[in-house]
Chains A and B, each alone.
Chain A
Amino acid sequence: MCTSFMGELMTATHNFTTGTGNTFKAALYFTTATLNASTTAYSTTGEITNTSGTGYTAGGVTVTNGTSPTATNTSVTAGAAYWTPTASFQWTALTVTTAFDTVLLYNSSASGKAVSVHTFGAQTITAGTFTLTMPTNSSSAALLRLTTT
């Protein structure tokens, strides 16, 4: 999770409410890109580009938000708030032969402010489909989880 995102939660910069909230997007990055907790916003630097064809569009894909965030108490002194997109991120008819391994989730309604960075094993795609399926939307596995201890 991006550190700037946590601060921005305190300024109501991000709204994950289903239907009326912000639009979030997911963009892919080459293995050579440097994205981490200090990433503050979407950038085209290091973002993947098509080796051929038009399967990838700069900025990535729009995230499906079918379920608003959930907040739950796990004890009298601890709890968790969590959220997960309700559909996979998918790119079809894609050819990217330079390895990529990172997806950036960002708020396209808020000047591209970064939400979180997630990495996976380096991949290439040849005339194929790249699908990124989300974890279970639960207090222990959701894509975004804020917990008190």
Chain B
Amino acid sequence: MIITTTKGDMDDSLLEHRQGSLDNENEYTTWDEYYLDGELVHRSVHVTLKKMPSFAVGATASF
């Protein structure tokens, strides 16, 4: 697979691949990092927003 890097397009076989994730009540996030000789040359992130806090604009008594 070809990866876009700061050094140009490179085959992923030449790179060290690291992945990570974060999961909490606000988001589920994953990231992919590629390193060339220890240097970060590609990092992509995918954040999925979860439930957003609602904003109450009324109360039963106000009907």
Contact = CB atoms under 8 A, between A and B. Distances in A.
Whether both chains belong to one complex is answered with yes
Interface of A: 1, 6, 52, 77-78, 80, 93, 95, 118-121, 123-135, 140-149
A102 B31 CA distance: 17
A78 B60 CA distance: 7
The main secondary structure of chain B at its interface with chain A is: strand
Given A118-B49, A131-B44, A132-B49, 12 more contacts: A52-B6, A95-B6, A123-B47, A126-B43, A127-B6, A128-B32, A130-B45, A130-B46, A134-B49, A135-B49, A135-B52, A146-B57
B54 interface: yes
A144 B5 CA distance: 36
The main secondary structure of chain A at its interface with chain B is: strand
B60 A149 contact: yes
A74 B29 CA distance: 31
20 contacts: A78-B60, A120-B27, A120-B29, A120-B47, A121-B22, A123-B29, A126-B42, A126-B43, A127-B43, A130-B46, A130-B47, A132-B47, A133-B48, A133-B49, A135-B50, A143-B52, A146-B57, A147-B54, A147-B55, A149-B59
